[in-house]
Each structure stands twice: as structure tokens, then as C-alpha cells.
Amino acid sequence: MTKSRLATPDPAAFRYAVYACSSKIDLSTPPDPAVALFDRRGVAESFGRLMWPSTFEVVDLAEATV
């Protein structure tokens, strides 16, 4: 088997979490898990707008842990 040519991701590089926030429209009661992680805020916001235009939320994990 040949060695993989894919780089190993660094979890610390993905600081923006996108949440669908179904609880905002009463579709769930427990906290929603993050559905995607991104390294840039703009990309995270674009993804959220495309998937859930009115309910998504982007959280900066670096600021959330301070």
C-alpha cells in the first residue's frame, strides 16, 4: 500500500464552529452540536448562510475558551 498524500489536519487550526441552531425554531431541546469546523470566519459564515439562512450561528472557539 502506498503512503497517503493527504496532510494530517491540525484540530487547533479550525477555530470557527458552525451551529445549525434548530433550537431557535423549536425543533430541538438539547444543545445542538457543531455541524462543521472552519479555519476562516468568512467561509464558515458562507456555509451557514447556504445551509440554514435564518438560524445558523458561527462561534469563534478561540474566544469561547478564554
What residue spans define the domains of the chain? 12-60
pTM above 0.85, yes or no: no
- The confidence score (pLDDT) of residue 29 equals 67
Q: What is the CA radius of gyration of the chain?
A: 15
Predicted local confidence at residue 17, as pLDDT: 94
pLDDT of residue 11: 82
Alpha-carbon gap, residue 53 to 66, rounded angstroms: 29
Beta-carbon count within 10 A of 57 CB: 16
Give average pLDDT by consecutive 10-residue segment, the chain, 66 residues: 79 90 71 89 96 91 78
Write the DSSP assignment of the chain as a string of letters: -PPP-SPPP-GGG--EEEE--GGGGTS-SSPPPP-EEESSHHHHHHHHHHH-TTT-EEEEHHHHT-
